[in-house]
Amino acid sequence: MNDFKVLSDAISKGDIKTALAETQKALDAGSNASDILDKGLITTMNEVGEQFSKGLIFVPQMLRSAKVMRECTELLKPYFQEGDITTKGKVLIGTVKGDLHDIGKNLVSMMLGGAGFTITDIGVDISPEKFVEKTKEVEPDIIGMSALLSTTMPAMPETIEALKKAGLRDKVKVMIGGAPVTEIYAQKITADAYASDAGSAVTKAKNLLGIS
């Protein structure tokens, strides 16, 4: 049985009020924030994606569910703080050119921020040129790129190439992720790390900088 059925239904229907109330109720009842995120929010978004694939729902419904998910995630944010606010390193993160999906990227930002990294989130649809410009400005230790569409994944090697051309590639580590992205793809495009989810993004980021 799904413990988060009411929450899940509310996300699917785009019912923000009920979803927020259910998230808060689950927290008040002592549910683990990671469980709410994984079993309540992310599982439901995956189901929403499957319904979209089958043609049972359309983009506006998907968008409504995404908005609800974002609001609920905000409510969970404080529960992912590690307490140690010492900066572990700077991360510049964005969703690549042509891609507007940001829920996963926002979760990765949230978890990295909670783990003590300083985050500069530059949003969605970020061109290689913009990544380069922001890298010069922010001087991050790690650049994080997210892609949710197989059609936008090529923007990742394009960005790495742009960093090389700008003489910045050796100064930063590059971590990539997103549903269609794989470890093999990361190796192929010479990214320094691939993370399959927000939790492992924290571990990978720490590994990249040699911290525990």
Q: Which residues of the chain form contacts with ligand B1M (CB under 6 A)?
A: 42, 45-46, 48-49, 52-53, 59, 62-63, 66, 93, 98-105, 107-108, 144-146, 148-151, 175-180, 195, 197-198, 201
- Nearest distance in Å: CB 147, ligand B1M: 7
Output the six-digit token pair for 112: 């990295």
- Nearest distance in Å: CB 149, ligand B1M: 4
- Nearest distance in Å: CB 84, ligand B1M: 21
Report the C-alpha gap between 27 and 79 in whole angstroms.
10
Residue 28 or 123 having the CB closest to ligand B1M: 123
Residue 28 or 198 having the CB closest to ligand B1M: 198
Residue 26 or 112 having the CB closest to ligand B1M: 112
Residue 30 or 206 having the CB closest to ligand B1M: 206
- Nearest distance in Å: CB 204, ligand B1M: 8
Residue 28 or 171 having the CB closest to ligand B1M: 171
Residue 26 or 73 having the CB closest to ligand B1M: 73
- The label of the residue with tokens 């571990």 reads 203
- Nearest distance in Å: CB 153, ligand B1M: 8
Report the C-alpha gap between 82 and 202 in whole angstroms.
12
Q: Which residue is nearest to ligand B1M (CB)?
A: 104
Nearest to 136 by CA among 112, 110, 171: 171
- Nearest distance in Å: CB 41, ligand B1M: 7
Output the six-digit token pair for 40: 């309540």
